[in-house]
Structure 1
Amino acid sequence: MTTTPSKPEPFLTDGHGGVRIAADRQGAPGARAVVFLHGGGQTRRSWSRAATTVADRGWQAVTVDMRGHGESEWSSDGDYRVSSFAADVREILSQLPPRPVLVGASLGGLTSMLLAGELARGIAGAVVLVDIVPDMDPIGAERIHAFMADKVVDGFGSLDEVADVIAEFNPHRPRPADLDGLRNNLRRRGDRWYWHWDPQFIDGTATRPPLEVADTDRLHAAVAAILADDVPMLLVRGQVSDLVSRERATAFLERFPQIEFVDVEGAGHMVAGDRNDLFADAVLGFLDRHDSEG
């Protein structure tokens, strides 16, 4: 593949139920795509450096704001099922060259499982799961949920306050000196800052919440179906993750020995944000090995 530097180009798609989904693409328009799907509470901006690295290697990199997050619309009827996230992504993939690579972190990884293993088998040429397995650690999941639920109502008085909260949650990551980047994850209302995502997604008020995250049998069946279709898979774990322990990763890989594995040193659950260099190397190595199989 040749190098094709470019800037992200925004585009919109009507997702499941007419929810407008915002995304960016960069790189060669006709090239095979790598579609990055963020975790709960994040936005497509979390993939900026990784997407640029992939695009510079000749791929078309597509980053997506999941429904209720970032610049995508909130669901008017509170539909935040993982299957609905997957249906949104399916609409985006209809605009791309066939059999893209799905790179999904946490919620994005669960979405990739259901999309490629249940909703639209054969749609993906490869799948990368970023710090997510069906049988995730419930204590780690609760810690993430508590972080997302905190300040939903009250918000923050300043960007410094936001940075302090994030630093407490991710002590292994240096507190940013420049706080402007935090604006991508926040919205301003009056003199307060609030997380960018729809509170219904996390506070239990959604009429159709993402209950599939706890259906380990269904998620394991989806992974088995992906592998049965001879779709290559890679698990990238943050070495200090509290959501995917080494033991849970080992159990997942013993159950599905076909899946490749990379443990990223110094990274927690937010692997790409913690160690983008090692994360990008892992993904590019996987893409190089399986490019001809798309």
Structure 2
Amino acid sequence: MAPESFGRFFLRGDGGRLRGQQWGTGLGTAIVFLHGGGQNRHAWAEPARSLAARGFTTLTVDQRGHGASDRTRESRYTHEDMADDVVRVCAALPRPPVLVGSSMGGIVSLIAEGERGPGICQGIVLVDVAPQVNLDGLSRVHAFFGRSAPGFVSAEEAHAVLSEYAVHRKPSLRSTIRNLEMGPDGRWYWHWDPLFAATVGDFHDQSRMTAALSAVTVPVLMLRGERSDIVPASTLDELPRINPNITVAEVAGAGHMITAEHNGVFAAALESFVVSLASNTGRPSSNLRNTHEPLRRRDVPRHAQPRRDSGDPSRGQGDL
């Protein structure tokens, strides 16, 4: 039986209110999901539900300027601002959680623990994000945000732009519409502050991310999409040299948006990692140790197999 949503919550800070949702009421370490740029908490709905059904407490957060969280008056969308928000969320929990960050969410997770820690969290899962970056792929993301910032004349125009960007998973028009809202000017916008797009170009700071990762003392799991155009394949060898506490693995057939494309594999890998933290091993099960052998659906327990159509309104949405 799928778990009921335990409830929505919000935290107030200098960037306004952060809104989120909690799934399950399990004991032990909570899992906090932080989405990528241009997404919202609904991007994590499927893994949050499936892991809550396994007895975990999961929390999905709309980062500032995204989803239902407030837009900041001064367009404060820097690393420092968002890392402050992560620290605030973690401090509101009874014990340090596991942080799961996709792209932008992974960047601010690293900065929060690497620069504000230790002790902000018990572990970090990086979802297709690393200090090393493929510049061509990053330019494609920047182009998507640039085309999105002025808004769209119609939902069909937004859908065409998104379909061109989401090369590994073509979104439906219905899911696109669920991610749009009409502005006061009558144009259609994604559920994030258009002013956020102005900060995207400066968000990936390789030297800062490398320093933050090297300073992290908690276990880290990095999952790379096998077909990712953002994280180079060489990262699998480079990251363990930066931090010996990191485990890296690839998800077979996945691009940058791993959870939208292969949620079952992702959920199983995440569960293995969190269980290993609870058992104080600090390492996932053997099939997740540093390896170039991609994780595939056959490696996934039956309980973690994804549904064909989750109805998740955010599937296919852009991501940084």
User: If the length of structure 1 is used for normalisation, what is the TM-score?
Assistant: 0.88
What corresponds to 1:265 in structure 2? Answer: 252
Opposite residue 76 of structure 2, the aligned amino acid is: D
User: Over the residues paired in the alignment, what is the CA RMSD in angstroms?
Assistant: 2.1
Q: Output the CA distance in 2 between the equivalents of 1:92 and 1:43.
A: 16
The secondary structure found in structure 1 opposite 2:255 is coil
What corresponds to 1:218 in structure 2? Answer: 208
Shift of 1:78: 1.7
Does the CA contact (< 8 Å) of 1:262 and 1:282 recur in 2?
no
Question: Which 5+ residue runs of structure 2 have no aligned equivalent?
Answer: 283-320
Please say if 1:203 is aligned against 2:198. Answer: yes
Question: For 1:128-207, what aligned pairs fall within 5 Å after superposition?
Answer: 128-158=125-155, 160-176=156-172, 179-189=173-183, 191-203=186-198
1:21 counterpart (12, 18, 23):
18
What corresponds to 2:69 in structure 1? Answer: 72
The secondary structure found in structure 2 opposite 1:284 is helix
Q: Output the CA distance in 1 between the equivalents of 2:18 and 2:232.
A: 32
Shift of 1:29: 6.0
Moved more, 141-150 or 255-264: 255-264
Question: For 1:104-119, what aligned pairs fall within 5 Å after superposition?
Answer: 104-119=101-116
1:9 counterpart (3, 7, 13):
7
Q: Output the CA distance in 2 between the equivalents of 1:182 and 1:28.
A: 31
Shift of 1:264: 0.8
Q: Output the CA distance in 1 between the equivalents of 2:159 and 2:278.
A: 39
What corresponds to 1:274 in structure 2? Answer: 261
Does the CA contact (< 8 Å) of 1:68 and 1:198 recur in 2?
yes
The secondary structure found in structure 2 opposite 1:155 is coil
User: If the length of structure 2 is used for normalisation, what is the TM-score?
Assistant: 0.81
1:85 counterpart (82, 85, 95):
82
Assess, with a 3 A threshold, how the Cα gap between structure 1 residues 203 and 53 changes in structure 2: closer, same or farther. same
1:256 counterpart (237, 240, 243):
243
Opposite residue 167 of structure 1, the aligned amino acid is: S
Shift of 1:161: 3.2
Does the CA contact (< 8 Å) of 1:4 and 1:57 recur in 2?
no
Deviations 1:136-170 (A, max 9, x none): 22221111011111032141412x33333222212
Q: Output the CA distance in 1 between the equivalents of 2:153 and 2:191.
A: 12
What corresponds to 1:232 in structure 2? Answer: 219
Question: Which 5+ residue runs of structure 1 have no aligned equivalent?
Answer: none
Assess, with a 3 A threshold, how the Cα gap between structure 1 residues 222 and 154 changes in structure 2: closer, same or farther. closer
Shift of 1:210: 7.8
Assess, with a 3 A threshold, how the Cα gap between structure 1 residues 183 and 12 changes in structure 2: closer, same or farther. farther
What corresponds to 2:307 in structure 1? Answer: none
**Percent same amino acid among aligned pairs?**
36
